[in-house]
Amino acid sequence: MYGLEAISNNNGWIISGAGILIVFACLASLSFAVSQIKVIFILFDRSNRFYKKIKSRDSKKKIPEAGTAAFYELLKSELEEPFQLFELLEILDKNNFPHPYLTVNQLRYGKTIIPSGDGCFIFKRNEV
């Protein structure tokens, strides 16, 4: 016995239909899981202790109210020239300045601090 007659006699149609349904159900559940993966990552990220630590740390930081002149005076008074960038970052972090790495980056690109050699920096002199 061969062909369609053998399939019919040995429940082949039912077995193949069950296989199709199983594959379809697995693909549908996989599609749903992939569509919801963003929610899973958000839940995982919010439960992370580092997220809570950074969030509480950023909520305490406030921009100094005196403005940029007081900001530069604070940096100049606490740093001995020449200084290294990690010293500047420590002062910014100690005084709760927001985004210390961005601040240092802007100070470098604005040429407020200039390299003096050997990985050290100095403040730009105001020449009149």
Q: What share of the chain is helix, strand, coil (3-state, %, to 5)?
A: 65, 10, 25
Amino acid at 40: I
Whether the Cβ atoms of residue 85 and residue 122 lie closer than 8 Å to each other:
no
> Is the pLDDT at 10 greater than 60, yes or no?
yes
Q: In this structure, what is the dihedral angle of CA atoms 44, 46, 49, 53, given to the nearest 10 degrees?
A: 160
Residue range 85-113: mean pLDDT, rounded? 81
pLDDT(120) > 80: yes
pLDDT band at 63 (very low <50, low <70, confident <90, very high): very low
Residue 21 pLDDT: 97
Residues 66-92 have pLDDT tens digits of 456 667 777 777 788 888 888 888 888
SS (H, E, C) 56-94: HHHHHCCCCCCCHHHHHHHHHHHCCCCECHHHHHHHHHH
What is the per-residue pLDDT for 114?
A: 85
Exposed, middle or buried, 27 (CB in 10 Å: 0-12/13-18/19+)? exposed
Question: Degrees (nearest 5) of the Cα angle 90, 110, 71?
Answer: 45
For residue range 36-59, list pLDDT tens digits in order. Answer: 888 777 777 666 555 555 555 545
Residue 65 in this model has a pLDDT that exceeds 60: no
* Distance, first Cα to last Cα, the chain: 105
